[in-house]
C-alpha cells in the first residue's frame, strides 16, 4: 500500500492508465457498444476532465474503471492499470479493497445517491468500517470529522440526520465525504453538480478542488459542460460516440482544437461571451401598447401546517412584467425562484392570488370558460421536457393538429397541410408526420412541440426551459430556430431559463428572479456587463466557462459579438 | 430497450431510440413481432395454448370429449386414469375428464361475469374519482377504503348469504368483492396520466375536458387496468371455485370445477384423481392467465 | 405524534362503522325479506308458519322503518351485541369468541411461515448469482398464487396423512394437527410476500445509493442486506398488513378442508344456514382485524422510514 502511494507521487508515470478499453451492454435489442478502444491517463494530483454529450460513453468509461457497471454491462477489451494492478483482472474481493479505499466515487445525482433510511453519519462511517480504518467506537466521531472536512456545516448535527432532511448541495457534500473518507489517491466525479443550481455548483466544485489539492488526490471529472471542464481541469479528454476524439492539456485543446467534433462542441457551448444575432427590433415598437402586461402578480400556496412555520408559501411575490410584440422577455432564476409559476400564471394555468394580467390591454386575470379558451388560442406553451410533453400514443400529425382540432379550425385535410407546413417551418421532413414521439430524438421532439405551439399562429409563446433537457449542440439549433421563427412570424416569447448564457443569446429583455421576486430587469447587454443587484453578480460569476476562448479566437464561431 | 442502460442520462432522460421500422405496414409487422415474441418465451406460448384450449372447451366441449359428463356406468366406478378415461371415473362411473371439460363452461362463465362486474363498476368509480377530483374523489375513495377493509372472501360470503346460491350469484359476489382494487388502480392511473405534462400541454393548447379525457387520459390509463383485469381473471377463477368448493355454486350434478374437487374429497384416500386432476385444470388455467398478465404488464412493452 | 395516533384511531373507527353499514345494507336490506330466509333456514323445512314469521319480524325489528332498524342495530353493535345466531340461538359475540383462539393459532402460524418462507425465498433468489437457482426460486411464487388453496390442502392430506401417515388429516389435535393447515394457508400468502419483496428488492438494487455502497467497497451481502433489504422491506410490510385479513378469511376454506373447529367453520356453517346475524358478526370482525393490523402497520411505519414525517396536524406525509 505504502509503495503505491509513493508510486502515486511519482509524476513521471500516470496514476491511472486506461488502454484500449471497450465496454458493451447486452440489451434485448442486441449488444450496444458504449465505449470503443478508449485510452485515457490520469496523472497524480491532477484534474482530468472527460467531456462529451449524452451517449458519448464518458460515464461508462468512468464506471468501468472500478467495474461498477450495471449487470448487463461488460468490459470486452482493454486494461485499466492503477498503481501496480490491472483492475480488469482483479477478483471481485480484491477490487473491493480498491473501491472506496483507493478510488472514491462522487456520483451523479445527490438526491438519490444516499440510502434514504440510514443516517448521514452512518453512511460515511461505513467506508471507514469496511476498510478497517476505524473501530465501531471511533467511527462515528471520525465520520463527523470527515463531514466537516467536506464542508458540511454543523457536521455533528447533520451526521445524525437522514438524507431527506438535507438540501441537494449538502447531500453532495455528504457524498464527497464518503468519497474522501479513506483518503483515496483518485476520485472519480461523475457529473457531480449537474443536478444542482449554478451557485451551489460553484461552491461545491471550489471545495472539491481545494480538498483534492490539499490531499494531493487526482480527480477524474466527468461532465457534459465544457465550461466546467475548462475551469477545473488541467487535462481534457473529449469523447464522442464511445471514442476519444481529442485529448491533451486543457489550454491546448481549447486554443487549438484539432478534431472537428471538439470545434463543433466549442462553437455551440453557450457562454457569456458568445452572442447570437437576435431578431432585429424595429425602432418605433416601444411606443405601441404592450402585448402582455403583468401587474403586481402574487401567488401563494397553502402549506400543510407543520410546527410554527408560515402557513403559506409566496411562490410569486409582487411581480410586474411587460412584453411587447415580437420581442423576447427572459425570466432567469434558480430552482424555487418562482419563474415557472409566473409563466403558469400568465397562461392562466393557475390562478393568481393577487395582481392583474393584461393581454393586449384586456384583463384576463379571472378569465373563465370561453374567454379563457380565447386566451389559449393566442398564447401557447413549449415545455422543458419534450419527452413528457408529447402524448406517447399520438402520431406527430395528431400532436400538431390537436390545437387546430380543439378550435375547429379547417377540416381534416387543411389541418394536415397546415401540419406539413409547420413541420417544414421547424425543419423536419414531412415523413415525420406519421412517426410517434418515441421514434424521435430529443431535439426533434422539441421541434414538434414548437410546431404545435405555432399551429394557431399565437401572439405569445411561453417557453419553459425549452432547451435545458437537450445536449448543447442541439440547444444551439433549437435557439436558432426560435429566433428565426420570431423574425418570420413576429411572435413574442416569454422565455424561462436558469441558464444565463442561453438567455444572453435570445432575450431582448431580462428579468432576474429570486425567491419569488424580480430583483433586476434590463436589456441583456447592460445586465450582463453592469449588473446592479448583488444576486445577479453572484449568478454571473458562478457561470462556468471563464476559461473558454472568446468567439473571436475560435474561427468557427458564428456572428461574433454583436 | 437500450436507453436507460447506456449511461449518460444526466437529466434522467431517455435517449432517442431508432425503432422506426420505416413505413412497413403496421399490421403485418405486428403479427410477425408477436410471433417472434412468443417464440422466445415457451412458457408464455404454453400459457396462450392452455387458455385457448380452455376457452374452446367452454364453448364446444364436444371437441374434446364425446362422453356424457352426467351419465355414468356404475360398473366402471373408481377407475384410475387410463387411455379410455384420461382423468379416471368417479363414484358413479362418470368420466372425470368429460366433467372437467364440461365444467369449463360454468366456471368460465362465472369468472367472466365476475371480472366484468369488477371492471365496469370499479373502473367507473376510479375514473370518475380520479378525473373529477376534489370532494367526489374523497367520497368515492373513502367508500372504496371501506370495501377494501372487508376481506374479499367474507364480502363474497355475505353477498352469497343475501343473494342465495347459484353460479351467477356467486359470480356477482366475487365480482363485487374485487370492485375496490379496480377502483384504486383506475384512479391511480387516471391521476398519473392527468398530471402528465402532455395532458397539461393539451389543455394549454385549448382542448376541452372531454377531449382530454377521451383522447389522452383514458387511452394512456387503460393499460394497467387491463393488466389487472387479466390478473383478476385468474383470482376470480380461484374465488369462484373456492365458493363452489364450499358448496354455494351450481347445484349437483352440474360439474363446476370447485364442486368436482369437493365431491372427490370424500374419496381422497382411495381415488386421488378425483381431486388432483380437476385441481390441476384450475391451477393450469390460473397459471396461464397470470403468465399472460405478466407479459402484458411489461415484457411486451419493454421489448425492442 | 399523539395527534397522529388519535387521528388514525378515529379513522379506524370510522372505517369500522362504515364497514358495519355496508354489512347491514348487504345482509339486512338487500335480501328483501330476510325473515323468510331466516325462518326457512332455521326451520329447515319448505313450509313456513306465517305466525312465526310475524313473531320473528317483530323480534328482529323488521316491522320498523329501515333507518330505525339501522339505528337500533348499530346502537347494540357498539356495545358488542350482534344479536343471537338464528340456527343455534347463542349470542353471536360469544360464538365468535369461542371459535377465535383456534383460528388465531392457525392464522398466526401461517403468517409466520409465510413471512419466513416467502421473505427468505425473495432474499435468496435476488442474492444468488446462480442463474438456474434464481429462475427456479422466482418461478415458485407465481405458482403459489395460482393454485387453489383447498386443492393444496387436499394434496397435502393425501400425501402426508394417507400415504406417509406423518400428520393427522383432520381435527384440532395439538401441534401436529396444525402443521398441514398452517402450511396450506401459508402458500398463497407466502407467495405474495415473496413476489412483493423480490420485486422491491430488485427495484432497490437498481437505485443510485446501491452504487454508492458498492463504490465504498462494500461486499454483496452487506449491500444486499444493509442497503437494499432495509429499503425493500417497507413496501413488503404494507402488503403483509393487507394480507392478514385475507388469512383470516382463508381460514374458512382451510378449516373446512381439515375439518378443524374455528371461526372459518362457524362462518361456513352460518352461510349455509343463512344465519344473517352470525354472518354479519363475522364480516364486521374481519373488518376489525383488517383495520387493526393496518393501524399497527401505519403506526410502526414512521419508526422504520425516516422520510415519513408526522406533522403536528396528525397527517403523515412523505417528506
Higher per-residue pLDDT: C62 or A417: A417
Higher per-residue pLDDT: A136 or C58: A136
In this complex, do C148 and B247 lie within 8 Å of one another by their Cβ atoms? no
Portion 303-322 of A in contact with C at CB < 8 A: 304-307
Q: How far does B12 lie from chain A, in Å, by closest CA?
A: 9
In this predicted structure, the answer to whether residue B66 has a pLDDT above a threshold of 80 is: no
Question: Closest to A113 (Cβ–Cβ): which among C212, C304, C312?
Answer: C212
In this complex, do A116 and C209 lie within 8 Å of one another by their Cβ atoms? yes
Q: How far does B130 lie from chain A, in Å, by closest CA?
A: 19
Domains assigned to chain A: 11-102+227-269+547-562 (3.40.50.300), 292-541 (3.40.50.300)
Q: What is the pLDDT of residues B196-229, one digit of tens each?
A: 888 888 888 888 888 888 888 888 888 888 888 8
In this complex, do C305 and A117 lie within 8 Å of one another by their Cβ atoms? yes
Contacts of C312 in chain A (CB under 8 A): 305-307
Confidence band of B1 (pLDDT split at 50, 70, 90): very low
In this complex, do C216 and A130 lie within 8 Å of one another by their Cβ atoms? yes
Cβ neighbors of A221 (< 8 A, separation 6 or more) are A47, A48, A49, A50, A189, A192, A228, A229, A232, A233
Confidence band of B24 (pLDDT split at 50, 70, 90): very low
Kindly give the residue spans of alpha helices, DSSP state H, lying in A490-533. 500-506, 524-529
Interface contact A107, partner C, CB < 8 A: yes
Kindly give the residue spans of alpha helices, DSSP state H, lying in A463-544. 472-489, 500-506, 524-529, 534-542
Q: In whole angstroms, how far apart are CA C252 and each of A108, B161, B248, C154, C284?
A: 53, 15, 13, 15, 15
pLDDT of residue A26: 85
In this complex, do C148 and B258 lie within 8 Å of one another by their Cβ atoms? yes
Contacts of C19 in chain B (CB under 8 A): 146, 149-150
Q: What is the pLDDT of residues C254-288, one digit of tens each?
A: 999 888 888 999 999 988 888 888 998 999 999 99
Interface contact B65, partner C, CB < 8 A: no
In this complex, do C207 and A130 lie within 8 Å of one another by their Cβ atoms? no
Strands C316-318 and A312-323 come out as: unpaired
Contacts of B242 in chain C (CB under 8 A): 148-150, 253
Would you give the end-to-end CA distance of chain C in angstroms?
A: 15
CB pairs under 8 A between A and C: 92
A355: Cα within 13 Å, side-chain hemisphere: 24
Question: Closest to C208 (Cβ–Cβ): which among A107, A164, A307?
Answer: A107
pLDDT of residue B7: 35
Cβ neighbors of C28 (< 8 A, separation 6 or more) are C34, C69, C73, C276, C280
Mutation for testing the A interface, residue in B2, B7, B216 having most A CBs under 10 Å: B7
In this complex, do B10 and A407 lie within 8 Å of one another by their Cβ atoms? no
Distance CA C240, CA C261 (A): 25
Distance CA A176, CA A171 (A): 9
Mutation for testing the B interface, residue in C151, C265, C288 having most B CBs under 10 Å: C151
Q: How far does B211 lie from chain C, in Å, by closest CA?
A: 33
Strands A235-240 and A243-249 come out as: antiparallel
Confidence band of C37 (pLDDT split at 50, 70, 90): low
Mean pLDDT, residues C211-223 taken together:
90
Other C-beta atoms lying within 10 Å of the C-beta of residue A335: 11
Distance CA B102, CA B119 (A): 26
Backbone angles phi and psi of C216, in degrees to 5: -75, -15
Mutation for testing the B interface, residue in C152, C154, C207 having most B CBs under 10 Å: C154
In this predicted structure, the answer to whether residue B14 has a pLDDT above a threshold of 50 is: no
Nearest to A521 by CA among A539, A505, A509: A509
Cβ neighbors of A434 (< 8 A, separation 6 or more) are A395, A396, A397, B23
In this complex, do C249 and B153 lie within 8 Å of one another by their Cβ atoms? yes
Distance CA B249, CA B174 (A): 12
Interface contact A434, partner B, CB < 8 A: yes
Interface contact A385, partner B, CB < 8 A: yes
Give me the long-range contacts of C312-315 (CB less than 8 A, separation at least 24): C312/A305, C312/A306, C312/A307, C312/C3, C313/A304, C313/A305, C313/A306, C313/C3, C314/C3, C314/C4, C314/C6, C314/C7, C314/C8, C315/A304, C315/C4, C315/C7
Distance CA B37, CA B292 (A): 12
Which parts of chain A have pLDDT scores under 50?
1-9, 277, 282-284, 551-562
Nearest to C76 by CA among C61, C88, C65: C61
A553 preceded by cis ω (within 30°)?
Answer: no
Distance CA A49, CA A258 (A): 17
A342 within 8 A of A333, measured Cβ to Cβ: no
Question: Closest to A54 (Cβ–Cβ): which among B15, B198, B303?
Answer: B15
Q: Which residue of B has its CA nearest to C164?
A: B269
Contacts of B205 in chain A (CB under 8 A): 376, 380-381, 402-403, 406, 452-453, 455-456
Distance CA B289, CA B236 (A): 11
Q: Which residue of C has its CA nearest to A166?
A: C319
In this predicted structure, the answer to whether residue C66 has a pLDDT above a threshold of 80 is: no
Cross-strand pairs, A40: A18
Cross-strand pairs, A460: A379, A492
**Greatest CA separation for chain A:** 79
Contacts of C276 in chain B (CB under 8 A): 161
Say which range, A22-31, B42-51, B166-175, has the weakest mean pLDDT.
A22-31
The SS3 call for residue A296 is strand
Interface contact A104, partner C, CB < 8 A: yes
In a 10 Å sphere around its CB, with 0-12 CB exposed, 13-18 middle and 19+ buried, how is residue A7 labelled? middle
Contacts of A28 in chain B (CB under 8 A): 1, 302-304
Helix (H) or strand (E) holding C175, with range, is: helix C174-205
Q: How far does B272 lie from chain A, in Å, by closest CA?
A: 45
Chains that touch B (3 or more CB pairs under 8 A): A, C
Say which range, A8-22, A518-532, C109-123, C179-193, has the weakest mean pLDDT.
A8-22
Interface contact C313, partner A, CB < 8 A: yes
Contacts of A66 in chain C (CB under 8 A): 215
Contacts of A130 in chain C (CB under 8 A): 216-218, 222
Q: Which residue of B has its CA nearest to C274?
A: B161
A52 within 8 A of A45, measured Cβ to Cβ: no
The order of strands in the sheet holding A312-323 is: A312-323, A292-302, A354-359, A362-363
In this complex, do C145 and B142 lie within 8 Å of one another by their Cβ atoms? no
pLDDT of residue C312: 47
Chains that touch A (3 or more CB pairs under 8 A): B, C
Stated pTM of the model: 0.81
In this complex, do A387 and B5 lie within 8 Å of one another by their Cβ atoms? no
Mean pLDDT, residues C138-166 taken together:
89
Q: How far does A113 lie from chain C, in Å, by closest CA?
A: 4
Strands A73-82 and A85-86 come out as: antiparallel
Distance CA B152, CA C253 (A): 13
A278 within 8 A of A483, measured Cβ to Cβ: yes
In this complex, do B304 and A469 lie within 8 Å of one another by their Cβ atoms? no
Grid cell at residue B106: 360454468
The SS3 call for residue B89 is strand
pLDDT of residue C297: 87
Kindly give the residue spans of alpha helices, DSSP state H, lying in B87-217. 96-117, 123-132, 134-149, 152-163, 167-177, 179-194, 197-204, 209-211
Q: Quick one: CA torsion of B262, B266, B271, B273, rounded to 10 degrees?
A: 10
Amino acid at each position: 500500500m505504502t509503495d503505491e502511494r509513493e508510486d502515486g507521487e511519482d509524476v513521471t508515470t500516470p496514476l491511472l492508465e486506461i488502454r484500449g478499453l471497450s465496454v458493451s451492454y447486452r440489451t434485448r435489442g442486441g449488444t450496444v457498444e458504449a465505449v470503443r478502444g478508449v485510452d485515457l491517463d490520469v496523472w497524480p494530483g491532477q484534474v482530468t476532465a472527460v467531456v462529451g454529450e449524452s451517449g458519448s460513453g464518458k460515464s461508462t468509461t468512468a464506471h468501468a474503471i472500478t467495474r461498477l457497471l450495471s449487470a448487463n454491462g461488460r468490459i470486452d477489451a482493454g486494461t485499466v492499470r492503477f498503481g501496480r494492478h490491472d483492475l480488469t483482472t482483479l477478483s471481485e474481493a480484491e477490487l473491493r479493497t480498491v473501491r472506496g479505499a483507493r478510488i472514491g466515487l462522487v456520483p451523479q445525482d445527490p438526491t438519490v445517491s444516499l440510502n434514504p433510511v440510514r443516517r448521514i453519519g452512518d453512511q460515511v462511517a461505513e467506508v471507514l468500517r469496511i476498510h478497517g480504518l476505524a473501530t465501531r467506537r471511533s467511527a462515528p466521531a471520525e465520520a463527523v470529522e470527515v463531514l466537516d472536512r467536506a464542508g458540511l456545516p454543523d457536521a455533528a448535527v447533520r451526521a445524525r440526520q437522514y438524507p431527506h432532511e438535507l438540501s441537494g448541495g449538502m447531500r453532495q457534500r455528504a457524498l464527497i465525504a464518503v468519497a474522501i473518507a479513506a483518503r483515496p489517491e483518485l476520485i472519480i466525479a461523475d457529473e457531480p453538480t449537474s443536478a444542482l443550481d449554478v451557485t451551489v455548483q460553484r461552491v461545491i466544485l471550489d471545495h472539491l478542488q481545494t480538498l483534492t489539492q490539499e490531499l494531493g488526490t487526482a480527480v477524474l471529472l466527468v461532465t457534459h459542460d465544457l465550461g466546467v471542464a475548462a475551469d477545473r481541469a488541467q487535462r481534457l479528454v473529449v469523447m464522442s460516440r464511445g471514442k476519444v476524439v481529442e485529448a491533451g492539456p486543457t489550454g491546448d485543446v481549447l486554443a487549438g482544437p484539432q478534431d472537428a467534433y471538439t470545434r463543433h462542441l466549442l462553437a455551440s457551448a453557450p457562454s457569456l461571451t458568445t452572442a447570437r444575432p437576435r431578431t432585429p427590433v424595429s425602432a418605433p415598437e416601444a411606443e405601441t401598447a404592450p402585448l402582455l402586461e403583468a401587474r403586481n402578480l402574487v401567488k401563494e400556496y397553502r402549506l400543510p401546517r407543520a410546527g410554527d412555520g408560515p402557513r403559506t408559501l409566496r411562490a410569486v411575490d409582487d411581480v410586474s412584467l411587460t412584453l411587447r410584440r415580437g420581442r423576447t422577455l427572459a425570466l432567469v432564476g434558480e430552482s424555487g425562484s418562482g419563474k415557472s409559476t409566473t409563466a403558469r400564471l400568465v397562461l392562466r394555468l393557475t390562478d393568481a392570488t393577487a395582481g392583474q394580467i393584461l393581454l393586449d390591454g384586456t384583463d384576463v386575470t379571472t378569465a373563465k370558460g370561453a374567454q379563457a379558451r380565447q386566451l389559449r388560442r393566442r398564447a401557447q406553451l413549449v415545455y422543458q421536457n419534450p419527452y413528457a410533453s408529447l402524448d406517447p400514443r399520438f402520431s406527430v400529425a395528431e400532436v400538431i393538429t390537436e390545437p387546430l382540432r380543439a378550435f375547429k379550425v379547417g377540416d381534416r385535410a387543411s389541418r394536415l397541410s397546415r401540419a406539413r407546413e409547420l413541420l417544414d417551418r421547424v425543419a423536419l421532413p414531412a415523413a415525420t408526420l406519421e412517426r410517434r414521439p418515441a421514434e424521435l430524438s430529443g431535439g426533434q421532439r422539441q421541434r414538434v412541440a414548437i410546431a404545435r405551439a405555432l399551429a394557431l399562429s399565437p401572439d405569445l409563446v411561453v417557453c419553459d426551459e425549452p432547451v435545458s433537457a437537450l445536449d448543447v449542440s442541439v440547444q444551439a439549433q433549437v435557439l436558432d430556430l426560435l429566433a428565426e421563427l420570431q423574425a418570420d412570424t413576429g411572435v413574442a416569447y416569454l422565455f424561462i431559463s436558469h441558464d444565463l448564457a442561453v438567455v444572453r443569446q435570445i432575450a431582448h429583455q431580462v428579468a432576474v428572479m429570486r425567491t419569488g421576486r424580480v430583483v433586476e430587469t434590463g436589456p441583456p447587454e447592460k445586465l450582463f456587463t453592469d449588473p446592479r443587484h448583488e444576486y445577479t453578480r453572484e449568478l454571473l460569476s458562478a457561470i462556468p466557462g471563464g476559461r473558454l476562448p472568446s468567439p473571436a479566437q475560435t474561427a468557427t464561431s458564428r456572428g461574433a459579438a454583436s | 430497450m437500450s436507453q436507460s442502460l447506456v449511461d449518460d442520462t444526466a437529466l434522467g432522460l431517455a435517449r432517442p431510440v431508432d425503432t422506426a421500422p420505416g413505413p412497413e405496414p403496421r399490421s403485418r409487422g405486428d403479427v410477425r413481432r408477436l410471433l417472434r415474441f412468443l417464440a422466445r418465451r415457451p412458457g408464455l406460448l404454453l400459457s396462450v395454448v392452455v387458455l385457448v384450449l380452455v376457452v374452446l372447451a367452454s364453448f364446444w366441449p364436444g371437441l374434446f370429449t364425446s362422453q356424457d359428463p352426467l351419465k355414468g356406468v356404475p360398473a366402471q366406478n373408481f377407475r384410475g386414469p387410463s387411455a379410455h378415461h384420461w382423468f379416471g371415473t368417479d363414484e358413479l362411473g362418470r368420466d372425470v375428464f368429460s366433467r372437467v371439460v364440461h365444467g369449463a363452461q360454468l366456471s368460465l362463465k362465472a369468472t367472466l361475469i365476475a371480472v366484468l362486474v369488477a371492471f365496469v363498476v370499479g373502473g367507473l368509480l376510479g375514473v370518475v374519482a380520479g378525473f373529477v377530483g376534489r370532494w367526489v374523489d374523497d367520497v368515492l375513495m373513502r367508500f372504496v377504503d371501506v370495501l377494501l377493509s372487508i376481506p374479499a372472501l367474507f364480502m363474497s360470503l355475505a353477498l352469497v348469504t343475501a343473494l342465495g346460491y347459484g353460479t351467477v350469484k356467486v359470480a356477482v359476489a366475487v365480482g363485487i368483492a374485487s370492485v375496490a382494487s379496480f377502483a384504486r388502480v383506475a384512479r391511480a392511473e387516471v391521476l398519473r396520466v392527468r398530471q402528465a405534462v402532455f395532458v397539461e400541454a393539451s389543455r394549454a393548447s385549448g382542448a376541452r375536458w372531454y377531449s382530454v379525457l377521451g383522447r389522452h387520459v383514458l387511452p394512456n390509463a387503460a393499460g394497467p387496468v387491463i393488466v389487472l383485469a387479466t390478473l383478476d381473471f385468474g383470482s376470480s377463477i380461484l374465488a369462484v371455485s373456492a365458493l363452489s368448493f364450499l358448496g354455494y355454486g351450481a347445484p349437483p350434478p352440474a360439474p363446476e370445477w370447485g364442486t368436482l374437487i369437493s365431491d372427490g374429497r370424500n374419496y381422497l384416500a382411495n381415488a386421488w384423481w378425483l381431486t388432483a386432476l380437476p385441481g390441476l385444470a384450475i391451477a393450469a388455467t390460473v397459471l396461464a392467465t397470470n403468465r399472460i398478465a405478466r407479459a402484458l404488464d411489461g415484457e411486451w412493452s419493454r421489448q425492442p | 405524534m399523539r395527534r397522529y395516533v388519535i387521528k388514525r384511531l378515529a379513522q379506524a373507527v370510522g372505517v369500522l362503522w362504515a364497514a358495519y353499514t355496508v354489512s347491514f345494507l348487504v345482509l339486512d336490506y338487500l335480501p328483501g325479506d330476510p325473515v323468510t330466509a331466516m325462518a326457512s333456514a332455521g326451520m329447515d323445512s319448505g313450509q313456513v308458519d306465517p305466525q312465526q314469521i310475524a313473531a320473528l319480524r317483530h323480534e328482529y325489528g323488521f316491522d320498523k322503518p329501515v333507518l330505525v332498524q339501522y339505528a337500533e342495530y348499530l346502537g347494540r353493535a357498539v356495545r358488542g351485541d350482534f344479536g343471537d345466531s338464528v340456527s343455534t340461538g347463542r349470542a353471536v359475540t360469544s360464538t365468535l369468541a369461542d371459535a377465535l383462539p383456534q383460528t388465531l393459532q392457525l392464522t398466526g402460524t401461517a403468517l409466520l411461515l409465510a413471512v419466513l418462507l416467502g421473505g427468505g425465498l425473495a432474499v435468496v433468489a435476488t442474492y444468488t448469482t446462480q442463474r438456474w437457482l434464481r429462475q427456479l426460486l422466482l418461478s415458485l411464487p407465481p405458482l403459489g398464487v395460482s393454485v387453489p388453496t383447498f386443492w393444496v390442502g387436499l394434496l397435502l392430506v393425501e400425501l402426508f396423512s394417507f400415504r406417509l401417515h406423518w400428520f393427522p388429516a383432520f381435527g384440532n389435535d395439538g401441534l401436529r394437527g396444525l402443521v398441514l393447515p398452517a402450511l396450506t394457508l401459508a402458500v398463497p400468502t407466502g407467495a405474495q410476500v415473496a413476489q412483493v419483496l423480490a420485486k422491491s428488492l430488485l427495484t432497490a438494487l437498481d437505485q443510485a445509493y446501491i452504487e454508492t455502497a458498492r463504490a465504498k467497497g462494500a461486499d454483496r451481502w452487506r449491500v444486499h442486506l444493509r442497503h437494499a433489504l432495509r429499503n425493500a422491506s417497507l413496501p413488503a410490510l404494507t402488503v403483509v398488513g393487507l394480507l392478514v385479513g385475507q388469512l383470516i378469511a382463508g381460514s374458512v376454506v382451510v378449516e373446512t378442508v381439515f375439518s378443524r373447529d374455528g371461526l372459518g367453520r362457524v362462518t361456513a356453517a352460518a352461510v349455509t344456514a343463512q344465519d344473517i346475524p352470525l354472518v354479519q358478526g363475522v364480516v364486521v370482525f374481519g373488518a376489525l382485524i383488517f383495520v387493526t393490523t393496518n393501524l399497527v402497520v401505519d403506526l410502526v411505519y414512521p419508526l422504520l422510514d425516516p422520510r415519513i414525517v408526522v406533522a403536528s396536524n396528525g397527517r403523515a406525509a412523505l417528506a
